A and B are shown apart, each in its own frame.
Chain A
Amino acid sequence: MSNATSQEVSMPVADPNDPYKAPALMPSSADKEPRSFSPDAFAVPTRKIDDWRYTPVERISEFFDVFTPSNATEISASYIDGSAVSESSGVSFRSIEKTQAPAGTVLKPSDRASAVQWASTDRTYALEITKDQSIPVLVNITGAGLALDALHLVIVAGENVHADIVLEHSGQARLAEGVELSTGKHSEVSLTSIQEWTNDSKHVGSHRLHVGEGAHLRHSVVTLSGDVVRLRMDQDFGGPEGDLNMLGIYFVDPGQHIEHRTMVVHNYPECKSRVVYKGALDGKDAHSTWVGNALIQPSAPNTDSYELNRNLVLTPGAIADSEPNLEIENGNIVGAGHASSVGRFDDEELFYLQSRGIPEIEARKLVVRGFFGELVDQIGIAEISKHLMGVIDRRLARGESDEMKHVLEEN
């Protein structure tokens, strides 16, 4: 381009101090962090950095520099009914080298914590599914104490494969975890990640998801406990007509920080995404964060996207941060919507149910079950739905305990 031409066109130059002067030159507001396996590509998180502003970074600072993992976290795979998986049934679960494909092939880390996890990890596992599965495949990840550990799991579902995969996290842990999932053309896959840690556990993780052309992926996250749990989900499509359904359920107790960040990228035409996260918060300093980013790139006409977050505050003193971000770079789309709310447990609802003879604790269960019910059904795995409803009921029953009374009286 000659000097003369550039003067004529006079492209505006972005002013870093006032980006609104030339909005077209702003960096992607939803997704401006680099993508890199190198921790040094990212600044050490502070609350001044946008992606970390809701996170109590001081409570997870050990996850920000490369460390030597304990390698004590246990991981195993089976069918959800306990029977063994086998290559003949189309499921292969094995330990691989980190440098060996498919590890590290799906998407690159998008923040310092996931780059540190990658750099620190000694143990990498691959779960490959090549045939349709009628029973969900269960990967059990059991913590082995508070010594810092790192783990990487890469999941590959082949073309046309129908399969349900459940990751169940339990025990006491301080875990940096990376999960990669790549689904094949026209596959129908669900991945459900359940976090049910002890109340002193910490879990910082990233899910990097690649949805195949014409494929359907249902990605569900269920976080029920842990001192600090922070999960970031990054995704892209591998071709047109992909369908992504992301569901999230979380339950936050006093003092806990539970954070989910979803980054949906529409990079191909005719793809659809739905993100629905719902959480209940119980008690003083229970803190949830949901940040839902959706980016619709110029290459993605006829995109249909929607994201929703609802929070139900059961008792006073809880904080729910909820932030949907939409960035639309293509005018030719079907829809791009978002909704977000934080609501209190409604005394009038309770009274109404009680006035019909339903005791308070049962009334609370009804309301909270109602709040989560539709979402739990959508997870679509009977064993998981039943388990979740049981956990929710137990949580609410615990509202009767002396500990909760104490918390309530403090407010």
Chain B
Amino acid sequence: MQHTLEIKDLHAAVETKEGRKEILKGVNLTVHSGETHAIMGPNGSGKSTLAYTLAGHPKYEVESGQALLDGQDLLKMTADERAKAGLFLAMQYPVEVPGVSMTNFLRTAKTEVEGKAPAIRSWVKDLQGSMKKLRMDPKFAQRSVNEGFSGGEKKRAEVLQLELLKPKFAILDETDSGLDVDALRVVSEGVNRAKEDNDFGILMVTHYTRILRYIKPDIVHVFADGRFIKTGGPELADELEETGYDQYLPEGSDSESALA
């Protein structure tokens, strides 16, 4: 079934010590099922803010605009309702939840998203199968959510959830950061497998083109100063790799990426 995520003129701000700061300044984007969009841009451009605003993080306040999933405005929903509507955010820094086991967490999430508890036998099979394919130690299921996981283990756990929760749209926020080559391949294969199974649309937020070798984008966007400023095919990513983001920054501003 075809689904559409339509972001229309989205403005969002965050409260800082220096006062209210607008970060998203009119974001427009349409993603369909099966499409992979790479969202690239310099540090501080607002890419992650876009990801968290769509998922409903309380820190970000929507000032105006819409994010329609099959016509329903996600921005009017609580974070859990957005997940139930079919949105999934794979976080750059997955949060540790002490005392809550992965199995309990995953089953609770699956039950909420599906509206009914999964049949126990097939659930255990799915869970074990996915964990095996992600090369996760079965013991992880008994451990507390993300607690004491290495950076790579946390990212695998995010992809595990992506496979099990079967969203309509997945936002991957710098899923490649902090991964060595082998882990990047395992994680990317997991994303590709989940997409093959469920044909969801992907918004992949990244700095680097490295992950694009494993997860092939259909469309590449440049995001700078709170909005999309250029859209192209996969060749745009290669161009960015060559020239960097400097040309997309406002006159006189420093690119953190260029400095790094």
Which residues does A use to contact B, with CB under 8 Å? Answer: 346-349, 351-360, 362-363, 366-367, 369-374
Contacts and interface: CB of A to CB of B under 8 A. Distances in A.
Interface in B15-72: 55-58
Given A347-B58, A351-B58, A358 B109 contact: yes
A357 B97 contact: no
A362 B78 CA distance: 14
7 contacts: A351-B95, A353-B105, A353-B109, A354-B80, A355-B55, A357-B84, A362-B112
Given A347-B58, A354-B78, A358-B80, A367 B112 contact: no
A83 B104 CA distance: 36
A348 B56 contact: no
B74 to A, nearest CB: 12
Interface residues of B, number: 30
B104 A366 contact: yes
Q: Which 7 A-B pairs have the closest CB atoms?
A: A370-B99, A357-B83, A354-B79, A352-B95, A356-B109, A357-B112, A357-B113
A54 B158 CA distance: 45
Nearest to A372: B99
A358 B95 CA distance: 15
Contact of A360 (B78, B95, B104, B108): B78
A300 to B, nearest CB: 33
Contacts of A346: 95
A304 to B, nearest CB: 25
B244 interface: no
Given A348-B95, A351-B79, A354-B78, A359 B100 contact: no
B226 to A, nearest CB: 22
Interface string B134-161: 0000000000110000000000000001
Nearest to A359: B80
B209 to A, nearest CB: 27
B224 interface: no
B105 A366 contact: yes
A372 B98 CA distance: 11
Q: Which of B58, B84, B99 has the most C-beta atoms of chain A within 10 angstroms of its own C-beta?
A: B99
B234 interface: no
Contacts of B220: none
Given A353-B105, A357-B84, A362-B112, A370 B58 contact: no
Interface of B: 55-58, 78-80, 82-84, 88-89, 91, 94-100, 104-105, 108-109, 112-113, 144-145, 161, 165
B100 A358 contact: no
B95 A366 contact: no
A357 B112 CA distance: 6
Contacts of A372: 99
Contact of B80 (A348, A360, A373): A360
Main secondary structure of the interface of A (DSSP, over half): helix
Contact of A359 (B78, B88, B105, B165): B78
B57 A357 contact: no
A356 B99 contact: no
Contact of A371 (B80, B88, B96, B99): B99
Given A354-B80, A355-B55, A374-B99, 11 more contacts: A351-B57, A351-B58, A352-B145, A355-B88, A356-B80, A356-B105, A356-B161, A359-B112, A366-B104, A367-B100, A370-B97
A351 B104 CA distance: 17
Contacts of B79: 351, 354-355
A367 B58 CA distance: 18
B83 A355 contact: yes
A116 B149 CA distance: 53
A370 B98 contact: yes
A379 to B, nearest CB: 16
Contacts of A366: 97, 100, 104-105, 108
B108 A358 contact: yes
Contacts of B144: 370
A369 B161 CA distance: 22
Q: Which of A348, A356, A360, A366 has the most C-beta atoms of chain B within 10 angstroms of its own C-beta?
A: A356
Contact of A353 (B56, B91, B97, B99): B97
B143 to A, nearest CB: 12
A329 to B, nearest CB: 35
Nearest to B110: A357
Contact of B97 (A347, A352, A359, A362): A352
Contacts of B89: 355
B162 to A, nearest CB: 10
A367 B97 contact: yes
A120 B66 CA distance: 71
A360 B77 CA distance: 13
Nearest to B164: A356
A360 B112 CA distance: 12
Nearest to A368: B99
A315 to B, nearest CB: 15
A251 to B, nearest CB: 16
Nearest to A375: B99
Contacts of B57: 351, 355
Contact of B83 (A349, A356, A362, A367): A356
